[in-house]
């Protein structure tokens, strides 16, 4: 079937989308100091995030609808048997690659007190509102924007490599956290690859949610200040050197196994790439 939709966004429009998100963060920044005394830090974070990401998402969606005629997103998963492997791959990537990179970065470039204080304004990471923000709201809204709209449009205009590279770079930039840039880029590339092979926004959301859940779990066993300041060394983060090295090696093995299994299943069940088959 011939694709009846135009491709949008391209790279330039994707950059403008990212700038819109950064602008929204500035515009809605006064919300936090106004709401925090009334409803507390945690509920304020949830509302601020919904405004900062939700309002731009609606605007971006309207632009896409006008530019392409495309109204929906594809949520169906071609092969549900891939779900355990993407979750396993996500955790293995976090343990074997992302956490070591974060710890090494923090060792050479510790988080400044001013930035740590700003992060502490979020509140208790185990609070239901913060937990919902990190594990539900962020995966859903960010994946709608960066994979459902940006990457989906880029894949129609450029090679998969270029499309995934650009979308992952913009995804890392919008987090506004220098200590999270490389890791957000890596996770964004993994999510982008899975989205490219499956065409499923649900898969992207599952990976994002699994990653955020995994990195939030330590908050239940750490002091709030230490969690937001990202203070533990790489050995402390894993529970000691005697756990660190075997954990990383095991994570690499599981990551390789997951990627190999995913490639095999993807090749056996190619994604439906026709955007006219979007679910809603």
**pLDDT tens, position by position, for the chain (280 residues)?**
334 567 899 999 999 999 999 999 999 999 999 999 999 999 999 999 999 999 999 999 999 999 999 989 999 998 999 999 999 999 999 999 998 888 788 778 877 777 777 777 777 888 899 999 999 999 999 999 999 999 999 999 999 999 999 999 999 999 888 888 999 999 999 999 999 999 999 999 999 999 999 988 877 766 666 666 555 555 565 566 677 788 899 999 999 999 999 999 999 875 454 443 454 4
* In a domain? residue 199: yes
Per-residue pLDDT, 157:
94
Model confidence over 10-21: pLDDT tens digits?
Answer: 999 999 999 999
Alpha carbons 44 and 14: distance in angstroms, whole number: 29
Residue 69 phi, psi dihedral angles, 5° rounding: 85, 0
* In a domain? residue 18: yes
Per-residue pLDDT, 112:
77
* In a domain? residue 70: yes
Residue 157: other Cβ atoms inside 10 A: 15
CB 203 within 8 A of CB 73: no
Sequence-ordered list of residues with C-beta below 8 angstroms from that of 251, at least 6 positions apart, any chain: 91, 92, 93, 94, 95, 96, 97
Per-residue pLDDT, 229:
58
Per-residue pLDDT, 228:
60
Residue 224: other Cβ atoms inside 10 A: 15
Sequence-ordered list of residues with C-beta below 8 angstroms from that of 179, at least 6 positions apart, any chain: 102, 105, 106, 109, 111, 230
Model confidence over 123-148: pLDDT tens digits?
Answer: 788 889 999 999 999 999 999 999 99
Alpha carbons 154 and 158: distance in angstroms, whole number: 6
Per-residue pLDDT, 234:
57
Alpha carbons 145 and 135: distance in angstroms, whole number: 16
* In a domain? residue 3: no
Per-residue pLDDT, 227:
64
Alpha carbons 184 and 129: distance in angstroms, whole number: 22
Per-residue pLDDT, 274:
45
Alpha carbons 165 and 257: distance in angstroms, whole number: 23
* In a domain? residue 5: no
Alpha carbons 48 and 66: distance in angstroms, whole number: 28
Alpha carbons 4 and 276: distance in angstroms, whole number: 8
Per-residue pLDDT, 99:
84
DSSP 98: I
* In a domain? residue 4: no
Tell me the residue range of the domain where 262 lies: 11-277
Alpha carbons 237 and 243: distance in angstroms, whole number: 10
* In a domain? residue 2: no
* In a domain? residue 84: yes
Number of independent structural domains in the chain: 1
């Amino acid at each position: 079937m011939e694709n009846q939709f135009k491709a949008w966004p391209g790279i330039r429009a994707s950059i403008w989308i990212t700038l819109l998100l950064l602008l929204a963060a500035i515009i809605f920044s006064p919300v936090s100091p106004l709401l925090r005394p009334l409803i507390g830090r945690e509920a304020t974070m949830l509302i601020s995030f919904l405004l900062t990401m939700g309002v731009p998402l609606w605007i971006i969606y309207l632009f896409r609808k006008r530019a392409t005629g495309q109204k929906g997103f594809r949520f169906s998963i071609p092969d549900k048997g891939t779900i355990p492997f993407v979750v396993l791959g996500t955790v293995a990537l976090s343990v074997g690659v992302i956490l070591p990179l974060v710890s090494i970065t923090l060792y050479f470039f510790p988080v400044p007190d001013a930035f740590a204080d700003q992060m502490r304004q979020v509140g208790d990471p185990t609070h239901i509102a913060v937990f919902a923000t990190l594990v539900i709201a962020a995966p859903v809204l960010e994946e709608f924007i960066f994979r459902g709209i940006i990457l989906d449009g880029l894949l129609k205009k450029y090679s998969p490599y270029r499309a995934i590279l650009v979308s992952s770079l913009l995804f890392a930039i919008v987090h506004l956290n220098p200590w999270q840039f490389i890791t957000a880029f890596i996770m964004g590339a993994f999510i982008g690859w899975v989205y490219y092979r499956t065409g499923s926004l649900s898969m992207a959301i599952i990976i994002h949610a699994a990653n955020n859940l995994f990195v939030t779990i330590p908050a239940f066993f750490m002091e709030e200040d230490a969690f937001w300041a990202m203070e533990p060394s790489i050995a402390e983060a894993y529970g000691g050197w005697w756990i660190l090295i075997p954990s990383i090696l095991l994570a690499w093995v599981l990551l390789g196994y997951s990627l190999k299994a995913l490639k095999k299943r993807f090749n056996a069940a190619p994604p439906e790439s026709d955007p006219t088959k979007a679910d809603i």
